[in-house]
Chains A and B, each alone.
Chain A
Amino acid sequence: MTAAELIAVAAFKSGVFSQAFPAFGVERRGAPVQAFVRFSDEKIRLRSQVYEPDYVIVQDSTLIKDVNVFSGMKKGGIILINTGGDIHGTIPEGVRYIPIDATKLALEVLGVPITNTTLMGAFAAASGEISLEALEEAVRERFSGTLADKNVAASRKAYELIKGGA
């Protein structure tokens, strides 16, 4: 949910309307959870969950065994998966798959395997929907002091990694 919130705040700071919400259930750290984000040039009224995402971010690739993370994806969509190796499952035709070892990167920069800001940096680079500056602003609003600095560094590193590889 933190990642969804960060995207929504960053998108808002980039000048569009945004909406972020969890798949309302048990919100325990470590339990499988889903969260959704919409952004639009117009006010967002729709309240249903997202069934046909343009982008999918998978924070833990082991979930792919249990959840169809590709569900509803269409040609031109992008799926960003946090993985250190191969994934189980077949990428749908026309969907761009971007692997990133966000856990390793987060451990290097933050010292903890919490991948929200790393994956957000990667998402900003892969999608072009939010700027790195807006993301940094969102991160600095959410965290303070050295924690904010470290998270900004983590998102920047992931951003550059994806930009460099693209």
Chain B
Amino acid sequence: MKAILEGSHAVAEAVRLVKPEVISAYPITPQTHIVERLAEMVADGVLESEYICVDSEFSALSACLGASAAGSRVYSATSSQGLLFMAEVVFNVAGMRQPIVMSIANRAVSAPLSIWNDQQDSLCLRDSGWIQLYAEDVQETFDLHLLAYKVAEDHRILLPVFVCFDGFIISHTYEPVDIPEEKDVLAYLPPYVPFNKLDADDPLSMGMYATPEYYMEFRYEIDQAMGRALNVIKQAGKEFKEKFGRDYSELVEAYRLDDAEVAIVAMGSVCGTIKDAIDAMRAEGRKVGLLKIRAFRPFPAEDIKKALAGIRKVGVFEKNVSIGSRMKGAVGYEIKDALSDSSVQVISYVAGLGGRDIRIEDIKKMTDAIEAGNGDCFFGLREELI
């Protein structure tokens, strides 16, 4: 069924279709519309799920962790300060290998307080052991929720997933979205089969104390599972395409890169604006393309290397800042590493922080800067305020 839905409500529809047995979340802008809608669905009996009301994000993810350990499919959603408040539990969920899926309506972090979009919140938790997927539009946001559960619950993986989409820009935008039939979703994503669970008749412990003789191997196995996720996500994406027609069989998406000399690398909704900017620049004869990154963890370094082969200069659009680092943005380092055995120049641009609007003109200016080789800086600063 094709309908016009607000991004948040599309997410709630995806959650309705995957039927988590337990939901726990604490409202925070711009994620609130998702959990409001889910609470409504549960109250109206449209969704048979236990909705656990809690006093904070810390409690929300703690409740999710317990429910997941008991063998339930579990869902949560948050943003910004909420995610940071959860941080301790975020690491625990991955460490205990619980396949929880959590929506992140990406928002800047305080201080100063900003309710607007950037990707600082999820990128801060880069090393937590959660898979991180980034969506460009409402449809992709919807789709990645289905894919996320399939990957998370795969017994070769058993890792939690952040499905990230830009706060307000996606969460509050109404646009057309194709909502599949319940039976097709069930065929793609069968009911959850836990690898193991808390059971009074067959007791086990999770998240136990690990002495120096054991701790490192646990961390190693999480990293190994994350590595396996590269292929498992591709398989889940291929199966998604066979079932629903939309292709997520790659972790990166190339746009007009074939004969490009300059490439922009980006994640999330700004990729749409960049595509329009690239069409405009191509019409002017400029050889520029986009590489959109859909999976940031696991990081598809080999795919990126392949996609950017032959490019002279690469500019990374960073909706985050790694304060004190030389390149300024966190994503740029990963791209630079992926291309380390080539002579391609990689530069970072910290842009669009705290909801600053990005226009086609900005992308053209950024392309000028990439061509000139000027980067590793904040882009679009208001000099009069400094």
Q: Which residues of A line the B interface, CB within 8 A? A: 4-5, 8-9, 12, 17-22, 24, 44-49, 51
Complex Cα spacing A69 to B258, Å = 43
**Would B174 and A9 count as touching, CB distance under 8 A?**
yes
Complex Cα spacing A128 to B358, Å = 30
Complex Cα spacing A47 to B4, Å = 16
3 pairs of A and B residues whose beta carbons are closest in the complex:
A45-B272, A24-B168, A21-B173
Known: A24-B169, A48-B358. 17 other contacts (CB 8 A): A8-B4, A9-B174, A19-B173, A21-B173, A22-B168, A24-B30, A24-B117, A24-B355, A44-B175, A44-B272, A45-B273, A45-B275, A46-B272, A46-B276, A46-B360, A47-B169, A47-B273
Complex Cα spacing A21 to B137, Å = 13
In the complex, chain A residues whose CB is within 8 Å of the CB of B169: 21, 24, 47
Complex: chain A residue closest to B279, CB-CB: A45
**Would A22 and B357 count as touching, CB distance under 8 A?**
no
Complex: chain A residue closest to B174, CB-CB: A20
Q: Mark B116-128, 1 if CB is under 8 A from A, else 0.
A: 1100000000000
Complex Cα spacing A89 to B380, Å = 32
Cβ 8 A contact of B273, one of A8, A21, A46: A46
Of A19, A22, A24, A49, most buried by chain B (CB within 10 Å of CB) is: A24
Complex Cα spacing A124 to B165, Å = 33
Q: Mark B253-276, 1 if CB is under 8 A from A, else 0.
A: 000000000000000011011011
Complex Cα spacing A105 to B2, Å = 34
**Would B168 and A21 count as touching, CB distance under 8 A?**
yes
**Would A18 and B175 count as touching, CB distance under 8 A?**
yes
Q: Which residues of B line the A interface, CB within 8 A? A: 4, 6, 30, 115-117, 137, 168-169, 172-176, 269-270, 272-273, 275-276, 355, 357-360
**Would A12 and B360 count as touching, CB distance under 8 A?**
no
In the complex, chain A residues whose CB is within 8 Å of the CB of B115: 24
Complex: chain A residue closest to B136, CB-CB: A45
Complex Cα spacing A49 to B273, Å = 11
In the complex, chain B residues whose CB is within 8 Å of the CB of A51: 359
Of A19, A20, A46, A47, most buried by chain B (CB within 10 Å of CB) is: A47
Complex Cα spacing A69 to B273, Å = 24
Cβ 8 A contact of B4, one of A18, A22, A24, A46: A18
In the complex, chain B residues whose CB is within 8 Å of the CB of A46: 272-273, 276, 360
Given contacts A17-B176, A46-B360, contact A12 B276 (CB under 8 A): no
In the complex, chain B residues whose CB is within 8 Å of the CB of A47: 169, 173, 269-270, 272-273, 358
Of A5, A18, A48, most buried by chain B (CB within 10 Å of CB) is: A48
Complex Cα spacing A62 to B100, Å = 49
Complex Cα spacing A20 to B170, Å = 10
Of A5, A18, A46, A51, most buried by chain B (CB within 10 Å of CB) is: A46
In the complex, chain B residues whose CB is within 8 Å of the CB of A20: 173-175
**Would A12 and B273 count as touching, CB distance under 8 A?**
no
11 contacts between A and B (CB under 8 A): A4-B174, A5-B174, A12-B4, A18-B175, A21-B168, A21-B174, A24-B117, A24-B168, A24-B355, A45-B137, A47-B270
Complex Cα spacing A24 to B174, Å = 13
| CB proximity of A160 to chain B, nearest CB, Å | 26
Given contacts A24-B116, A45-B273, A46-B273, contact A18 B176 (CB under 8 A): yes
